Amino acid sequence: MFIFNQLLLGSIVIPITVLVQIIFIQIAIKQLRKFEKAEQKLNTIKVSGLLSLSALWLLAALSIAIWIWAGFFLLIGCSTLEQSLYFSMVAFTTLGFGDLTLPQEWRLLSGMIAANGLVLFGLNTAFLIEVLHRTLVKK
C-alpha cells in the first residue's frame, strides 16, 4: 500500500513541475515572437544574448522545480531544508551521489525525481535548439 502512496504523490509532483516549465517556455515564446517582429537581422552578439537569456530563464524554471521537490520532501518529513534541497538537486540532475538518500519508505521517489529531471532537461534542450535554429535561420 505504501508503494502506491509513493507513486501517487510522485505522480502529483511531476505534473506540477512540468506545468511550471511549460509556463516558463510559453512566456519565453511570447517574448521571442515580439523580438522576432521587432528585429529583422540578428548579429552574433544579439544571437548570443538571446540564447543566454533563454538558457537562464529555463534554468530559473528548473530551479523552481527543484525547490518544489525539496518542499515536498520537507512536507513528508524526510529531512531538513538543506538536505531536501541538496537531495532534490542531486537527484533531479541525475548525479545521484548517494551520500544522502531518502528513507526506505520513500525511496521510490528517488527514481521519480530523476525521471522528472530527465524529462524537463530534454524539454529545455528541445526548446533551446529551436531558439538556436530560428535565430540562425534569421541571421
Neighbours of 125 (CB within 10 A): 11
Query: Residue 69: its pLDDT value, please?
Result: 97
Q: Of 115, 139, 123, give the one whose Cα is nearest residue 29.
A: 123
Q: What percent of the chain has pLDDT over 70?
A: 94
63: Cβ contacts below 8 Å, ≥ 6 apart: none
How much is the pTM? 0.89
Q: pLDDT digit string (tens) for 109-133?
A: 999 999 999 999 999 999 999 988 8
Domain ranges in the chain are: 2-138
Q: pLDDT digit string (tens) for 12-24?
A: 999 999 999 999 9
